[in-house]
Structures are given as C-alpha cells and as structure tokens.
Amino acid sequence: MINTPLDPDIRESSSTSCFPPLSLISIATHLREHIPEVRVNIVDGGICSTDYILTVLEAMCPDLIGVSTYTASYSSALNIAKAAKKHNSIVVFGNDHASHVASAILTNQRETVDFIVHGDYGEIPMELLIRHLRGEIPVKQVPGLVWRGQRGKINANPIREQNLDEIPIADRHLLPKPRSMGLAHMRESKLQGLTPYVSNFREKYPASSDFTPTTINIARGCKHGSQKYRYGIPSSKNCIYCDICDLRLRHVSPHRAWSEVRYLVDNFGIDFLHEVADSFTSFPAFIESLVRHKPSDLNVKWFVYARAKELANPRIIDLLKQLGVIRVNVGMDSGDDTMLRALHKGHGVDINKRAAQLLARNKIQLQCSFVLGAPGETTQSLQHTVNFLNYLLDLGNVVAIDPSPLLPLPGAPAWRMLTDPEYRSIQARRFGFRIKADIDKFVKKYVNQDCLSTGELAEEWVRQFCNVDYNTILRYMDRLLAITGSARVVRGGFGIAHDSTIGNGWTFPSLEK
C-alpha cells in the first residue's frame, strides 16, 4: 500500500510528513483480519522519496500495489505504477483524484493501471478485489470498483455503504519501523512507526514540541457540502474549490471513538489528536455525546477542522473546550463579502470575525487558510483580505496561515465551471465576471484527461474568472505571509503554513499530565 509523494513541482503543505496515511493503515488492518495469509506493507511518500519507493518495489516484487493519489501527486503515482508493472504487479489506484477521473485513467493508462477503487471506503473493496483475483468471486461483486470489461468498456460497480463502527481501529503497529526505512538516526521508542511523524511535527511546530501527536478519524463529512448532495456530483452548496468525493455526515459511536483514543494513549503515549473529519463542528450532537462519555483518565488535546459559521455558536465553542480542543483549522478564505459568496461559503465576513473572536476569548488557537482567486476577485477584494488578516492577528490566537491560489480540481464546483458551459454562464451572471472567448479551447485540453498541470490550471482559472492577473494573486500571497513574518510563497498552487508565536505571542497551553 503506497501513499504517493507529491509531484516534484509541488511544495508540501503545513501537515505533510507530520501524520501517517491513516486510510492505508486502516485497509492494511482490515486485510490482516480478514485475509491473514496476505502480507501487507505500507510505504508512505509523505516521509520517503519516489526513489525509495521504487527500491522497495524492486526488492519486494509485489503481486499487487494499492496507490493512494491526489491531483498534486498523480505524476508520481504514474511513475510508481509503471515501475510496478515491470515486476508484473497488479496496480490499483484510489482516493479523490482517482475517484473523480476513474474512467479517464482506465482509458488513458491501459498499460499502467488495472483497477480504480472509487469512493470513501477502501477496506472491503480491497479485500474482495483480492478474493476476485484469487478466483473466489466475480468482479461485479467488488463494491466501488471501476474496471475494464470486454473491448475495454469501463464498468463501475455500486459503492457499498459501511458502518464506521465496523471498520477496525487502524493498527499503527503496521507502520514500518524507522530502521527498516533507512532512518537509523531515529531512536527506537514506544512510538515505533510513528517516530518519524512525531519528529517532523515537532521540527515544523517548535512551539508544540512537547506534544506527541497523531491522526484519528472518528467522523466524516461536512454539513455545508452535504446539503442536496448526490454522490459523485458536485453540489452547488459545496465550497467552490472542494473536491472531496463524499461529504455526507457519518460518525462512529462514542464508545468506539474513546476505545481508539485509549489504544493510542496506551500503546504510543499519544497526547495530541489531529481529527481529520472534513468539518468536525458539523457534528454538535456527536461532540456532546463524546464529552458526556469522556473517560476521566484520558486528558488528550485535539486539533480539528471547523467551519466559521458553526464556530460562531458559543455552544459549539463550549463543547470543543470540554472535549479538549486547543486548536482549530478554519477556511476563512477571504475578508471580502462578495468573494465569500462567490466561494459558496454560505456566510460573510461578520461570521468569520465572530468565530475568531469566540476562539480567542476561549484561548483556542486558530490556524486559517485563505483562497485567493474567487470568481470576480479584484485588487480591492484582495486588500480586504489583507486587512482581515491584520484584524485576526490582533486577536492574538492565530498560529499558522495557509494562503493559496484557487485550484479547480476535478470533482469541485470550480471544475464544473471550467467544463460545463451552462453552469459557467449561470455563475457568470450571478457573480459578474466575463467569460473569455477562448475558454472552450482551454477546456478541451483537459476533458477526459487524467494528467493535469496544477500550476497551469490555477493560472488559467485566474485569467478566466478573476479581474486581476495571476502574478497579482501571488503578490498578495506574499503580503499575507509577510504580515506573519514568513515570506515563503509556493508557486505550484498550494500554500505552506507558517507556525510561530505570531500575533500577540499566545502559544499552546501546557498539558495537564
């Protein structure tokens, strides 16, 4: 099982290399329980290079490789797949990019990729795919599988819903030990395979070096994106840049959640959990239940993703504090009301400010992202975002920012604006931008394609839909980062966080051991 490294022209985000590939660990755990005779290895491109992965393939000659890929890592995924084919490995792609362009991948990569697992669940599909390959079941019984039939016809099996409580707790012991990865300089400890991630986290976030963090996933989905949601079809309610393939609301039981927390504390000494739910604050009743069932001897702290509109509710803030949340990541995105409306955020700057105020008042740290390049973006709206960041910094609880140009990824409403003329015209009338005459020529380059240039997409998006040029977007990214004391700007379409005691210097509260 391989988590693909980012492509060479993409710079890492704030959390790259800090947390293990939880979905792959979960699949490996499921396979160990249900097909114990199958040997599963996990290789994480977040902490090792493509060259290292190719060396592993050369040494192991696996019968099958499962490759998790995003748009920003797809070129690397193809290179890995081509190398695996030299050893006659069966190649399976999964995750968001593979889900959204599955048909294009199987059409264009006939000699490289054999199957796609699409959707949000990989545990049962991978198990049943192996059983199919062993001749035990027909291919049509593998849920969520996209495959080639007779004469190359692309077939997509229905996705099977799964109770999250039935997915086993991901066994982090399945991660390779540092020494086996050539990381002999890392001292073996109770953390075992989590060692490099904790080390990277502490190096990136020195103000948080007392923590022993890892990821957990006890909820999935986003209330905003799940409204009027149809699987595989972008909802007009989604944030315009969101390409997450399934935003329906689901969560485990409180008992299952605290069982996993106890497993992490007892086995690895974890005291800081990064919950990767798309929007944790979309689950107020679940959070309340977690608080009610919280074991008195578990004092872990939490870092969660949240929406400003939900954080503007004092009751939500109070529940987060009771749970132990000390840091939230919020997509503030813009300091301009018109741009927030164009981004489909569902609220204005006043809600962003209200959420930030409540977080600061309750000593909860704020990590915020900004997306520059909404339809109709102007220098005035960009300046409003600069002014808004200054306002946030004055509150004293901002610890990191992540600015980036809007990137229209497959599966996102922004992608639909590029490729659907009728939808594009509706959005143009609604937000007041002009459609360029040459857009269809550009779009044809990407229709039915699986290999996309993220840099070219971001730049062309700005040219087509904004009232500023791409260099202006990059200059304002520079300004946002300069305000916080960091002048690092990523040119490939993704931001990089700056973590420090910025603002008024408020830092992580000490843990009560």
Q: Is residue 165 part of a domain?
A: no
Q: What is the CATH number of the domain that holds 448?
A: 3.80.30.20
Give the range of the structural domain holding residue 104, as residue numbers without chain letter.
2-156
Of 156, 172, 190, the last residue of a domain is 156
CA 438 distance to own-chain centroid: 32
222 with 113, same domain?
Answer: no
Using DSSP's 3-state secondary structure scheme, residue 58 falls into: helix
Q: Is residue 338 part of a domain?
A: yes
Identify the segments of the chain with pLDDT beneath 50.
228-235, 486-513
95 with 240, same domain?
Answer: no
Q: What is the CATH number of the domain that holds 133?
A: 3.40.50.280
149 with 228, same domain?
Answer: no
Q: Is residue 500 part of a domain?
A: no
139 with 15, same domain?
Answer: yes
276 with 133, same domain?
Answer: no
What length does the chain have? Answer: 513
Number of structural domains, the chain?
Answer: 2
309 with 411, same domain?
Answer: yes
Beta-carbon neighbour count of residue 258 at 10 Å?
17
126 with 246, same domain?
Answer: no
Alpha-carbon distances of 428 from 342, 374, 422, 425, 465, rounded to whole Å: 10, 12, 10, 5, 8
222 with 365, same domain?
Answer: yes
| Largest Cα span, the chain | 65
Q: Is residue 185 part of a domain?
A: no
pLDDT at position 443: 76
Q: Is residue 412 part of a domain?
A: yes
pLDDT at position 228: 45
> What per-residue string of b and e applies to 57-79 under the rule 16 or more CB within 10 Å gives b?
beeeebebbbbbbbbbbbbbbbb
Q: What share of the chain is helix, strand, coil (3-state, %, to 5)?
A: 45, 15, 45
DSSP structural state of residue 317: H
Closest CA to 97 of 89, 109, 105: 105
Q: Is residue 44 part of a domain?
A: yes
DSSP per-residue letters across 391-449? HHHHHT-EEEEEEEE----TTSHHHHHHH-HHHHHHHHHHHT-PPPTTHHHHHHTTTT-
245 with 148, same domain?
Answer: no
143 with 244, same domain?
Answer: no
266 with 152, same domain?
Answer: no
Q: Is residue 183 part of a domain?
A: no
246 with 129, same domain?
Answer: no
pLDDT at position 183: 55
Identify the bridge partners of residue 274 per DSSP, sorted by sequence position. 215, 303
Q: Is residue 325 part of a domain?
A: yes
Of 90, 121, 156, the last residue of a domain is 156
